[in-house]
């Protein structure tokens, strides 16, 4: 996925290339890609229309 100046290849573009949205015990939302790499909301290009945990 390419959006603006960010080039994203960590997954989430389709059902077979999923990315997990998880709530940490610290209350923050994290994203885990197919390799187990963990990202914060600030590190990945999120669609503002996509709901996060509230």
pLDDT digits (tens, 9 = 90+) for 14-26: 667 788 889 999 9
- pLDDT: is 17 or 31 the higher one? 31
Predicted confidence (pLDDT) at residue 31 exceeds the cutoff of 50: yes
Q: State how far the Cα of 5 lies from the Cα of 30, in Å rounded to an integer.
A: 22
11: its two tokens? 């997954």
List Cα–Cα distances, 40 to 26, 32, 54, in angstroms: 12, 9, 15
pLDDT of residue 8: 66
| Averaged pLDDT, 21-49 | 86
Quick one: average pLDDT of 9-17? 70
E-strand ranges in 1-54 read 2-3, 6-7, 20-23, 29-32, 38-40
């Amino acid at each position: 996925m390419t959006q603006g100046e960010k080039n994203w290849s960590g997954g989430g573009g389709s059902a077979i290339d999923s990315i997990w949205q998880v709530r940490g015990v610290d209350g923050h939302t994290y994203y885990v890609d197919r390799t187990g790499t963990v990202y914060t909301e600030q590190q990945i290009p999120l669609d503002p229309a996509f709901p996060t945990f509230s």
